[in-house]
Amino acid sequence: MTGTLVLVRHGQSEWNLKNLFTGWKDPGLTEKGHEEAKEAGRRLKERGFSFDIAFTSVLSRAQATHDHILAALGQDGLETIRDEALNERDYGELSGLNKDDARAKWGEEQVHVWRRSYDVQPPGGESLKDTGARVWPYYLHVIQPHVLRGENVLVTAHGNSLRALMMALDGMSPAQIVEVEIATGVPIVYRLNADSTVASKEVLRD
């Protein structure tokens, strides 16, 4: 019997609220973001979850969300591995810019391409394809073995690093994955088959 993989996007950050490109910059959570993270923990607790190991990025918004979840579960001391492989997509020169200001500078169409294409990089940054190129090997070699050994694994990360991972798990095409939106602070539960394919997927909404 394999274990369970739970993915959670961090709660709302201060820059999400301000409509800024965040990337590898490190703003904290808003008050709403802290509440979203705590609610994620409550939802998991209500369903009887506990974890054997956890993974998160090196960015504080993901780590704070992870901490709230484990506190709700009474697992504050759980072994946690932090790695930049799970960091948000690097937006390069867009990082820290208001999205409306970026549109004014480069044009609506160009900014849309940078945000929503699969393999076009913003200046000095990563495409979603580039993000996947670091997320997928890390998942396959470091995270997935724990799930296949029957462990319950928590991954708290970011919209684009999780989209890249879900693209592989759900077998989505580049055209499909760029349309996917991942809500902040909402756990996504995968149960895997012994051959590492997905047996079931559940989004823990209200």
**Would you state the pLDDT for residue 8?**
98
* Each residue's pLDDT tens digit, 105-128: 999 999 999 988 999 999 999 999
For position 160, what pLDDT does the model report? 96
Q: Where are the domains of the chain?
A: 4-89+127-203
pLDDT at 206 over 90: no
4 backbone φψ class: left, alpha, beta (φ>0; ψ -120 to 50): beta
Write the pLDDT tens digit of every residue in 153-176: 999 999 999 999 999 999 999 999
The architecture of the domain spanning 4-89+127-203 is 3-Layer(aba) Sandwich (3.40)
**How many helices (H) does the chain have, and how many strands (E)?**
9, 6
Which comes out higher in pLDDT, residue 88 or 116? 88
Give the sign of the dihedral formed by CA 165, CA 169, CA 170, CA 175.
Answer: positive
What is the model's pLDDT at position 28?
96
* Position 1 pLDDT exceeds 80: no
58-97 as b/e, with b when 16 or more CB fall inside 10 Å?
ebebbbbbbbbbbebbebeebebebeebbbbbbbbebbeb
Q: Is 10 a catalytic residue?
A: yes
- Supply the pLDDT for residue 116: 87
User: Among the options 36, 39, 66, 88, which is catalytic?
Assistant: 88
pTM score over 0.75: yes
Q: Whole-angstrom Cα distance, residue 91 to residue 142?
A: 25
* Per-residue model confidence (pLDDT) at position 171: 96
Whether the CA torsion 11, 16, 22, 23 is positive or negative: it is positive
Q: What is the mean pLDDT of residues 1-27?
A: 94
Instruction: List alpha helices for the chain, DSSP H.
Output: 14-17, 31-46, 60-73, 99-106, 108-116, 128-138, 144-148, 159-170, 174-177
Q: Out of 10, 66, 146, 158, pick the active-site residue.
A: 10
d(Cα 103, Cα 98) in Å, to the nearest integer? 9
Percent of the chain with pLDDT over 90: 96
